[in-house]
Amino acid sequence: MTDAQQQLPEIDPKLEGSNLEKDPDDWTTGDEPMTGAQASYLKTLSDQAGEPFTTDLTKAEASKRIDALQDETGRGTT
């Protein structure tokens, strides 16, 4: 390991103000159509949960739906 690698601070993704913890309703791009990655994962989760897959969600709506389906299916939990 080089000196530069040893000096890098460890980053905690759960730090206050982290984008990973930001409410989807507060996203500046939350009203844009969901991404391809969101759609793909949402389709997988919807199929596993036996729930209908909706294609016309915004990024924020898709994020909330993914969270709900992860809770329902047990996926995405550590």
Using the Cα atoms of residue 63, residue 73, residue 76 and residue 52 in order, give the sign of their dihedral: negative
pLDDT (tens, 9 = 90+) of the chain, 78 residues, equals 555 555 655 655 555 555 567 888 888 888 999 999 999 999 999 999 999 999 999 999 999 999 999 999 998 766
pLDDT at 46: 97
Instruction: Give a yes or no: residue 48 inside a domain.
Output: yes
43 belongs to a structural domain: yes
Q: Is 31 helix (H, G, I), strand (E, B) or coil?
A: coil
Q: How many folded domains does the chain comprise?
A: 1
Is residue 27 domain-resident? no
List the domain range (segments joined by +) for residue 59.
32-78
The C-alpha atoms of residue 68 and residue 8 are separated, in whole angstroms, by 36
